Amino acid sequence: MKTKQLFMSIAPPIISKTKSQVPDMKWSDVTGIAIGTGFTIKVAVSIALSDALQSIANETDSDNDQRLWDVLWLAHFQLSLDESESATFNYTFPHKHWKTEEITEVSLRLHGEVRNDQTYLSLLEDF
């Protein structure tokens, strides 16, 4: 009769991370602006994110540009801080109602992914 030796391993199991796929949607290249926030690779934002940042009737285009710059800076900061290929973060900005002039805060949950030497930024629900 043959006996079989059993071995016990106390090493943690190796779990392979599967890379998430970049969603199949339309992207807008914002590399020109992103370079000013510290990015050194191409950067694209989803059309949905771009629409969420769009200026309202009584706002100027510079308000939209500032919000985009803020999002890009925050994304670069988060990705650099973690030295990771993805980051999820919040971006909140004030919004003034055009009729009542009441100011409310708009909060967006954003996600960034670095894939194939390009960074993709979108709303979290799109990923």
pTM of the predicted model over 0.85 = no
CA distances from 83 to 39, 73, 86 (A): 13, 15, 9
Least confident of 16-20, 52-56, 62-66, 123-127: 16-20
Residue 10 half-sphere exposure toward CB, CA atoms < 13 A: 0
Across the beta sheet with 42-46, the strand order is 27-29, 42-46, 118-123, 103-115, 86-96
The mean pLDDT value for 88-113 works out to 88
Domain ranges of the chain: 27-126
78 sits in which H/E element: helix 61-82
pLDDT value at position 15?
A: 43
Instruction: Using the predicted structure, report yes or no on whether residue 96 has a pLDDT greater than 80.
Output: no
Length reported for the chain: 127
